[in-house]
A and B are shown apart, each in its own frame.
Chain A
Amino acid sequence: MKVGVVVFPGSNCDRDALHAARLAGADAELLWHETPDLHGSDAVVLPGGFAYGDYLRAGVLARFSPIMAAVRDHARRGGLVLGICNGFQVLAEAGLLPGALLRNASLRFEHRWVRVSVERPDTPFTRGMPAGTELRMPVAHGEGCYYLPDAPLAELEAARQVVFRYAPPEGNPNGSVHDIAGIVDVTGRVCGLMPHPERASERLLGSDDGLLLLRSLVESAAATAVGAAR
């Protein structure tokens, strides 16, 4: 079971994600964004950071990196893709996930511990987490305000694509509609979230709740083993 962690110019959580994927039991490898393929990865992580300096709009320039064609292809074949923070912004800009991440409503860069409730236990990212499970993870972003116009937002909710929602007492840190912290695409195989599971993957860091998510990803990818079948 191999997890590929994409490195864009400006990614800065790539090594943390690599370390956490290994803690979760995977072989893991960094993939430079100019690599045209995923080196047989069974799951791909787009890590946090500031790809291309967030110039123009967070995530938009990374969308045109050569590796994104392989990521798109991987997703089309049912491979697992996880976008964390900036990775979520890249997936949204690339159209692999619906919606957009706007500037935080608070006008501030929000970096603090939050709590998310698991809305769906039946995704490859939430194995072994009953609905209502709360995960404590940090956020650190300037553009994390999830937005979708009313009609598609209703569709997103009806299709049960909201996987994580900000929960009290810390609540919604950025003004996201419906307190949305993380979603999946219609296939359920591509997930994006603003909180950082890799920064909550060891007790020493203040929480290891994020490791549950990464373990779920690793176990789900092992079960389907898209890479191994190639």
Chain B
Amino acid sequence: MASFRYAVSVMPKEGILDPQGRAVELSLPHLHVAGVHAVRVGRRVELTVDASDEASARDTVEGLAGELFANPLIESWTVELVAAASSTAGAGAAAGVAPGAR
């Protein structure tokens, strides 16, 4: 078993009104900032998944992203692996590597 930490970034889809992004953009003149535009605000969800391998961990995260973290009608998402740790560190990794390494 290993642990995989993911970051899921959820953003409003292109063309969907994003009042949060608009509000941020409207505040920029108060900061005397010019030349910044197309501000979009989304959310980031981080989570750790215990699984036998990265593929099955990613399946779980993709499932959660489409079902819970994002509403596919209005939001898109990307999944990024940010860390991985094997619970049986040395032995597990060695056993995993050996057959493929001839």
| Secondary structure dominating the interface of B | helix
Interface assignment of B19: CB less than 8 Å from any CB of chain A: yes
B17 contacts A102, C-beta separation under 8 Å: yes
In the complex, chain B residues whose CB is within 8 Å of the CB of A149: 73
> How many residues of A sit at the interface, in one of the four size bands?
10 to 19
Smallest Cβ-Cβ distance to A149: which chain B residue? B73
Given contacts A56-B68, A60-B68, contact A103 B19 (CB under 8 A): yes
B20 contacts A100, C-beta separation under 8 Å: no
A147 contacts B71, C-beta separation under 8 Å: no
B73 contacts A99, C-beta separation under 8 Å: yes
Given contacts A56-B68, A60-B68, A107-B23, contact A100 B17 (CB under 8 A): no
The CA of A107 and the CA of B18, in the complex, are separated in Å by: 9
* Contacting residue for A56 out of B16, B17, B69, B73, CB 8 A: B69
A147 contacts B16, C-beta separation under 8 Å: yes
B73 contacts A175, C-beta separation under 8 Å: no
B74 contacts A100, C-beta separation under 8 Å: yes
In the complex, chain B residues whose CB is within 8 Å of the CB of A198: none
* Contacting residue for B17 out of A60, A145, A148, CB 8 A: A145
B16 contacts A107, C-beta separation under 8 Å: no
In the complex, chain B residues whose CB is within 8 Å of the CB of A147: 16, 73-74
B71 contacts A104, C-beta separation under 8 Å: no
The CA of A105 and the CA of B17, in the complex, are separated in Å by: 7
The CA of A217 and the CA of B70, in the complex, are separated in Å by: 33
* Contacting residue for B19 out of A93, A99, A105, A148, CB 8 A: A105
Interface residues in A106-140 (C-beta closer than 8 Å to B): 106-107
In the complex, chain A residues whose CB is within 8 Å of the CB of B37: none
Interface assignment of B22: CB less than 8 Å from any CB of chain A: yes
A103 contacts B20, C-beta separation under 8 Å: yes
User: B73 → chain A, closest Cβ, in Å?
Assistant: 5
A107 contacts B68, C-beta separation under 8 Å: no
In the complex, chain B residues whose CB is within 8 Å of the CB of A145: 17
* Contacting residue for A100 out of B22, B23, B71, CB 8 A: B71
